Every structure is written in C-alpha cells, then in structure tokens.
Amino acid sequence: MLNPLSFSGLAAGQRGVHLRVIETTDLHLHLLPYDYYADRPWSGVGLAHAARMIEAARQEAGNALLFDNGDFLQGTPMGDYVAHERGLREGDLHPVMAAMNALDYDAITLGNHEFNYGLDFLMTALDGAAFPVVSANLAKRRGADPRRDCPLVKPYVLLDRMLKDEFGTEYPIRIGVIGFAPPQVMDWDSRALNGRIEARDMVETARAWVPEMREAGADLVIALAHTGIGAARHRDGMENAAVPLARVAGIDALLTGHSHLLFPSPVFSGMAEVDIATGTIAGKPAVMGGCWGAHIGLIDMLLVHEGGRWQVLGSRSEVRSLTPAEGGAPDPAHRVTKAVGALHEDTLSAIRRPVGHADETLHSYFTHLGETAALQVVAEAQRDHVRARLDDPELAELPILSAVAPFKSGGRNGPAGYTEVPRGPVALRHIADLYPFPNAIAALCLTGAEVVEWLERSAAAYNRVKPGSAGTPLRNGEVPGYNFEVIDPLDVVYDLSQPARYDHAGGLVDATARRVVSVTLDGKPLDPAARYILCTNSYRAGGAGQFAGARAGNLVLADEQVTRDILCRHVSARGALARDGRGSIRFKAMPGTSVVFETGPAAKGHLDEIARFHPEIRGLTRTGFLRLKLDLSEGV
C-alpha cells in the first residue's frame, strides 16, 4: 500500500485514505498479445498483457477500482469473427465480457466503436457483463432534459465500498461513476442508430446528472469519459470535451480516452487548463491510458473524511507500460487467456482460409507518396458493388469514383501498423489487413468542385514545405491515416509549398489556400459543375472528418453490406490481385527541396517503388520508424 504521507497536504494527526483508480481504454478487442493480420504473436499489447499491470497496481494499493473507458468491442478479426461468422445469441458470452469478468472490473462505459456491429449486437454482448455499464448521454428517447431521457444503459452507478487506511481502519464510502460518449456516434454509425437512440452533449448531460448523484449520496464522482483532451472552451456537441467536462461542479476525477494518447505526457503541454506536471485537467485528477492494453492509466487520490464529507486532498496521475523483464508473480494473464483461448483458436482457423491470390505485394508504406496499389483493390471492389446497385438510370450514367483511406499507415499505430499483403495466397486475414474496420458501403453524388474540396481536405495530411528547404517532415502527424483519402482513378497533383486549406480536424482555416494544382480523370480535367458518384463508407458519408459534400442530401446509396465482405467477394471472384495502373498522386516540382518521410522498417524492401524520390535511408527514429530523405526537385 502506498503511504498517504507521500502526498502533501495532510495536517498533523490527520488520517488520509489512499484510493487508486485504474483505467484501461480503447482496447479495441485486443485481448491476447497476438497480431491477427500478421498471424504471429505481438508482445506488449492486449488485455492479457495489461492484466499483469493491473494486478501489480492493485497489490500496491489497499483500495483500488478498475474501470474501462470504452471502445472495447471492435478492432481485431476476433471481433469480426464473433459478429459476422459465429454470431452472438442470447445467453452467449462475448469474449471481451468474459475477459473483463475474469479481471473483476468495477464498471465500464461505452465508446463510439461499440456500435459498429449494430445496436442489437451490442446489447446482447452487454448482457454478459458481471459489472455495471454506464453511459449518461446516450438515450433510447430524449426527454425534456437529460434526467427525463429514457437511457440506453444506466446513466450512472453508485458503488458502496469500504476504504481501509494504513492502520487498518475501515471507512464506508459511496462512489458515483458516470459515463459519456462522443455524440458524433450518431453520425459515424447513423445507419445502425437512426431512430433507435439519440445523443446529447456530454457537458450538458453531466451538469444535469452529477447533482442527482450527489443527492443520492455520492461521496466521490468519477467520470468515465470516452473523449479526448481538446479545447478549453465548450461548444455544444464537441467531440473532445475533457476540459469543459472536468470543469463541471461535482466531478472529482476524470478518465479520458478516444484519442489513443497518453496523459499525463508532453503531447498535451501548453494546453489551456491542462497540467501535465500534476496530471490534472481544470484542477481535477485525470488520466488517459493509451490503447490496445499496451498501457494502463492510474490516478492515486488522497482522501480525507472531515465534517461528514469526503474530499480529495491530493492526487497523482501516471500511465504505465510493462517491459518483459517486469513480469513477476502472480501473473493473472492466464485468466484472460483461459477466458478467450478457445475463441482465439477459432479465429485463427477463420482468418487462415484462402480467398484468392496476390500477383505482387500490396502494402501501405508509401500511400502518402502515391503508391496506392493496396487501396486500388478496395476502390475497385467498392466501385463494382455500387455500380451494380444504382437503380436510378440517370445516376448510373455518371462517372463512378471511389474514395479509400490507408487505415493502417503508421502514426499512432506505430512502426508495425502498416498493411502488407505478401505476394501469393490471400487469406481472410489479408482482407482484414486491407480493410480493418466494419464500415458499411455508401455512395454520394457530388459535383466536381466538391470532389476537389474532398481532396483539399485530404491534403491537410501534408505539412507545408518551404521551397529550397531540407528536413521538413512530409506528413502532418496530427492527421491520422483514415483522414487521408485517395480517390481512384483520379490523377491528382498537390503543391506542398502552399498552406493547407483545412486543419487536421477538417476545419476551414484558409479559404484562399489551394494545394490541389490539377485533377484529371482519364486525361481530362475534372469538370467543377459536372456530377460524379463517389463510393465511400458509412462512417465518412455520415460526416466523419468533415469532408465536403458528406451529407444526407447527397447520399444516393446506403447499403447494409460491410465493405470488408464486399472486398472478400471481389477478391474471390477475381482470383488474382494486381495494380491496375490507373490514378496517381504527384507533387509539384520544388527544385533543391527535400523532406523527411517516416514509414515502417519493412519498407526498406520496397524502395525501388519510390525511386523517383531518390530515397536515402537516415536510420530509425526512437520509436522505430524508418526515416527517409526524399527529393522533391522533380515533379513526382
């Protein structure tokens, strides 16, 4: 047990009680340390890995609570296998519930990805939870105010616990736990949720429910907030609302997530009301424990009971990872392994089934440089599916474009987070590698001008490069791969010397800026006034990423078919996969200019594909990415 005296603020003779709050977040069904896409063990990730850290953290503290902060249901082929092949019948235990039950979670909340497989599947999965599930701002039906809503799950729960001080004296405490999810889930999974649930602003909801929790006797209120740490100013419906949420009176501690980042850490330095030294947001203890079970978050609070009420006298927040040398005993990982081991073997059998053949290696190491063969396979599958389902003869005559993003292209996924489908037999696991999310297919009818704006939004993925400079990172690290769209089969030229028209979140920052120099289709310039069909997915068509024209009025196809299933059928029918040579991304020539590009170490075996950039290897970064110097002198 940690010594309460290690916290500052205790007066002479005053007794403090230490309470530790442990967080997992954004597990994305990484239960075992295994990479199903590469079909090999993957050390350092998974709930079984985190279980060792959880057990050690519990042993250090006499009083500990364990929570999960959402996005636990989707993210690996095991989740897809359960949802789409094996199914989940009433009474079945979902593997993530089995694993969490084995580790004795105290409560969990819902993230946005919980809804990817549909509302019915989620609710059946939650039936197996041996702990409370809370979410206050998601309702089956909205009422006049949040407290009159018909909630999807419990808005909050009150946990009655006994806390023990360092002398062994026990004290009763009632801990209120409330949950929140980004209201954007209604856009991202609109096909599954429209007419079935509604979402409220997180801060508005907290202001309504927290006073009721206090009225019900909550001595301490902990918010499980599946939201990132963003702007301090509150805007209605904001996605990353941790700062204004922490300011809500009555909330004592805040667990955050959604962004797959670590807090406290230097990445959040300089942000208003965010203190990385104390691990607080708006003065409240807070934490964000990364993703995939690679880390856990800890908040240690010193509580004192005076005048008939509990108060937080001091706190510390930290994020922990576990190195192999720190294993130690006992090792609770076997509890998770035992809970999901049989399903793991079933998943392996499923992902190893052959579905086709690749004539060349398909990868995402150089997607941002215009090497898009891996994306072209997906684009073609989307295009064929949409073409066959456009009933309106007028729409069927329009040119069909297909937008695809490199979901696995490094960044926060790390140096191993790239797609690589080797030449040879293509199995189901390779299909999941090409398209890892269970998005449904969708199509929009856009003008050529809107298509160009879509590309300008994608261009935010690049940093501005000063002509004649050297060493500028090519990629904007704030733009994840899934917000960089390649539209096949367009030929696009970008001018990186120009400022970005949009910021990393899709907000318009410079209406006069133009990075898109030219866009052609089959050698002819795109007509700004003409109409085009753009194949995309339900997530993007619902407005995620703020791409031009992604709105209900432009939607011409909303299919229940999952893109990955469409891709699987396409590969099976075609048999062999190879690039079709259509479409390209090029950069306007910048004489005497070079940039730095980071990619996966395995990209060294494919440098011939980007010979036009005259790549020079500059070693590995501290995080393991391969650094390349690229020459932009030629129009490439």
Mean pLDDT across 270-295: 95
SS3 145: coil
* pLDDT above 60 for 558: yes
* 116 within 8 A of 73, measured Cβ to Cβ: yes
Residues in Cβ contact with 342 at an 8 Å cutoff, skipping those fewer than 6 apart: none
Rounded CA-CA distance 281/279 in Å is 7
Task: Assess contact for 226 and 179: CB atoms under 8 A.
Answer: yes
Query: Shortest CA distance to 280 belongs to which of 305, 299, 303, 257?
Result: 299
Residue 3 structure tokens: 């010594």
Average pLDDT over residues 411-429: 90
Helix axes 47-60, 95-102, angle to 10 degrees: 20
3-class state of residue 557 by DSSP: strand
- What integer pLDDT is reported at residue 9 of this predicted model? 60
The answer to whether 37 and 432 are in contact (CB under 8 A) is yes
Adjacent-strand bridge partners of 445 = 533
Where does the pLDDT of residue 11 fall: very low under 50, low under 70, confident under 90, or very high at 90 and above?
low
Percent of the chain as helix, strand, coil, to the nearest 5:
30, 30, 40
Is residue 341 within a helix (H) or strand (E), and if so which, with residue range? helix 333-351
Q: 13 pLDDT band (50/70/90 cuts)?
A: low
pLDDT tens for 340-351 read: 999 999 999 999
* Contact by Cβ (8 Å): 332, 567: no
CATH no. of 4-347: 3.60.21.10
Peptide bond into 591 cis (omega under 30): no
Residue 353's nearest CA partner among 438, 431, 437 is 431
Arch. (CATH architecture) of 353-466+476-581? Alpha-Beta Complex (3.90)
Question: How far, in Å, CA of 300 to CA of 575, rounded?
Answer: 56
Tell me the three state secondary structure of residue 251: coil
Whole-number pLDDT of residue 559: 76
Q: How many CB atoms lie within 10 A of CB 130?
A: 12
* Structure tokens given for 176: 């209120």
> Do 4-347 and 353-466+476-581 fold alike per CATH?
no
Q: How far is CA 67 from CA 22, 54, 126, 234, in A?
A: 6, 11, 15, 26
Cβ–Cβ < 8 Å for 197, 287: no
- Token output for 294: 């690679």
pLDDT tens, position by position, 608-617? 999 999 999 9
Tell me the percentage of the chain whose pLDDT exceeds 90.
78
In the DSSP assignment, the letter for residue 210 is H
Exposure class string for 196-209: b at 16+ Cβ within 10 A, else e: ebbbbbbbbbbbbb
Please write the tens of the pLDDT for every residue from 477-487. 999 999 999 99
> Is residue 58 classed as helix, strand or coil in its secondary structure?
helix
Of 437-446, 592-601, 606-615, which range is least confident? 437-446
Give per-residue pLDDT as tens, 206-235: 999 999 999 999 999 999 999 999 999 999
335 DSSP β-pair partners:
none
Report how far residue 534's alpha carbon sits from residue 556's, in angstroms, rounded to the nearest whole number.
10
C-alpha closest to that of 66 among 24, 34, 30: 24
Other Cβ atoms closer than 10 A to 494:
22
Q: Which residues contact 30 (CB under 8 A, 6 or more apart)?
A: 45, 46, 47, 75, 76, 292, 293
Cβ-based neighbours of 330, under 8 Å, separated by 6 or more: 55
Could you identify the residue written with the tokens 């500990």?
64
The residues spanned by each domain of the chain are 4-347, 353-466+476-581
